[in-house]
Chains A and B, each alone.
Chain A
């Protein structure tokens, strides 16, 4: 029951938020903040909650939500990042506030649903909901090339999801043929695997994999990401990087191995190689970016590559590492995107060579903090994430030690290179530093990064037994 309330609360409140814009300017924002705060508090209590009702019994579709360890962590991540990005919105979103906050809350329902759904159709239902509000957020409040970016984002991810749902139907009918029962329950459907031929299994794997790989994203399916992330308003980028990519990661971690355990094992080397390619390719590309936000977008792909490789290792440590990586990456990249937004507001550009010319002590120290966290400095969350992932991968493939060392080097490489150009260049004057309004969400994210870096048991506790 609790989980139902949690998932639907934002959606139910979103029309109210929209209508409240008529009453007074600023009211939608306050309402949205209170709703997301309430959702955040609710999400802390939600572990172990489950709802199971019939939805469309004749097709075997049920309304089945459940929160276990992994879901719990992802749900908390969602509500936390959502709160931070709503808090961060007021500096950037001045027009059509009602619509904006209503759309954000709609997105929140979708993402929470994805992380808790057990029934695959319900999962797909929530998965696709997320697309539409994000499309509008990029389209209406984005930057210069927003029209192009919004379309690309919509079509790319929609096509991926459609292949995925065909995969789900395929599994559904195979199950029906074998057991004579209609079901979309994830924890039932895996039984088909023993009875299907290799080629059928490969096809099924491919179909479902495509949906997740586009979202995660895995190189070479990543091309929508730099455009969407760069053109979205910075709170939107925070959600894109912090939550939407995690939907792909969650699918790879949760849905695919549960549905096709054997095939997943067979394909894991391939998946790991794709992950490694993602890490290095996007780190190289990030190295030469002139636009700060684009650089951060590529670093997202790179970090998700580490998570994907850790998932492919199929070890307990690797899985925990991947989840830790996703959580910590959401915090760190959220921080970085908000900072790049702050730079943009001050200089009207994000060219690294331009913004490096002026001083702003708090802003640049936060940037340095974020860059260190991103490259895995001990004491910050990125470090634990990398160590766990690397240990997991190492347990499975010992030769991978070279990859681990190198990837740590390249990640640190492009981040430090960027810091050097932005913060330690020659200065020509000062600009206005961060205001209190801007600082609040940043402080939230920084606290998160520090907490997870110093007290890893906060996250590893609920993940016990994964």
Chain B
């Protein structure tokens, strides 16, 4: 009951946002969070809403709320697109059937193409075009994979039927969304070209959909623990973090760091154990929060500072502090990096429980993590090279809220760990 109500509220927020702007849509979005939290495991034909979908859905709606606060008041279409996209993501996360999965996946994707392209600038149009072309191709590949699987199995339910060309194409479509190594090419250009609130949403919510669907469907199809994931994971974490070293633009840097984090998120798929999955779930939560925080700080200061890392100085002191903590959280430093530390280390610790392959992944993880601290510290070094301006923009509240949450999770991560543990055991009967 609560689930349906919350879905209705999210749809309503889409329409109201279009008619009356953010002030009308936000309360509905906020109200849907407690309803989602209250909703029980529900099965409506092909949709299967359980603890796993609940955790990720709550995360997606919270990210949507945070992103929507950072948008411009006059951009009404933004509210609509954000809400519809969030709805699509929630549906995709709870689909157990290829058809409903594909439809909700497309709802979530098409709205993000529009979000990227909705601006007037040349850069946005270019990014929108790129994203659209790549996205549509990947959806086509995914659909093609689904049709092959359907031809073989004669059913649209996601079931274990071995690994073949159909499964490979289907996975390729998902891996495109999370930006794993050979499918990452769109990420830097689109993250850089889109307006920063869109980028927040792509990094904070779209990626959750990719990750959630990937874990769920590869679990249902019995593909977890494949060598392929091991290879992809290592390649992605090294590629993302090494390429980030060369970046001169803050949004591009964060985009590559996002690719690197996709590599960490693939770890539980290659070492399939509950501890690693717990870590990955925590990590997707932390990554979403931190990336939204980072991109909204970029958004707030885009006009005055530009985006070159070398010019990244002279922010107000709250932005300085929150960006520092967020970047250290992405690097996984304890206490001052908050919960980012725990998610990363529970993940690596989980990997280590699975023999040599786990050791290789964990060593790769820490090595790239050390590399990542270098490029984050380069930004921090610039931030603190001059005293900041006195003026404090109001929107700084969003990154500050995130920072405080992250810091609290760093001191007392037990609730988050326990929720994620509970959720991950549902995938380990």
Contacts and interface: CB of A to CB of B under 8 A. Distances in A.
A222 to B, nearest CB: 18
Interface residues of A, number: 33
B374 A162 contact: no
B352 A140 contact: no
Given A151-B374, A155-B370, A166-B363, A58 B336 contact: no
A264 interface: no
Interface string B338-357: 00010001101100110000
Interface string A150-171: 1100110011001101100110
B144 interface: no
Interface in A82-133: 96, 110, 124-125, 128-129, 131-132
Interface in A420-454: none
A147 B382 CA distance: 10
B334 A124 contact: yes
B377 A173 contact: no
9 contacts: A56-B417, A59-B346, A129-B334, A135-B377, A150-B377, A150-B381, A154-B373, A169-B362, A173-B352
Contacts of A131: 333
List of 3 A-B pairs having minimum Cβ-Cβ separation, nearest first: A162-B366, A159-B370, A125-B334
B209 to A, nearest CB: 28
Given A155-B374, A166-B348, A169-B348, A129 B335 contact: yes
Contacts of A129: 334-336
A139 B373 contact: no
Given A132-B336, A162-B369, A166-B362, A154 B384 contact: no
Contact of A166 (B333, B352, B377): B352
Contacts of B84: none
B133 to A, nearest CB: 39
Contact of A158 (B348, B349, B373, B387): B373
Given A129-B335, A162-B367, 20 more contacts: A56-B414, A56-B417, A57-B414, A58-B421, A59-B346, A125-B334, A128-B341, A132-B336, A135-B377, A139-B384, A150-B377, A151-B378, A155-B373, A158-B370, A159-B367, A165-B345, A166-B348, A166-B352, A173-B349, A176-B353
Nearest to B351: A169
Contact of A132 (B333, B374, B417): B333
A394 interface: no
A169 B335 contact: no
Contact of A125 (B335, B346, B373, B414): B335
A171 B405 CA distance: 31
Contact of B333 (A56, A128, A163): A128
A185 B346 CA distance: 17
Among A57, A132, A150, A151, the one with the most B-chain Cβ atoms within 10 Å of its Cβ is A132
Interface of A: 55-59, 96, 110, 124-125, 128-129, 131-132, 135-136, 139-140, 147, 150-151, 154-155, 158-159, 162-163, 165-166, 169-170, 172-173, 176
A169 B336 contact: no
Interface string B8-26: 0000000000000000000
Contacts of B369: 162
A196 to B, nearest CB: 14
B379 to A, nearest CB: 12
A57 B412 CA distance: 12
B91 interface: no
A58 B418 contact: yes
A58 B370 CA distance: 27
A139 B363 CA distance: 29
A136 B346 contact: no
A157 to B, nearest CB: 10
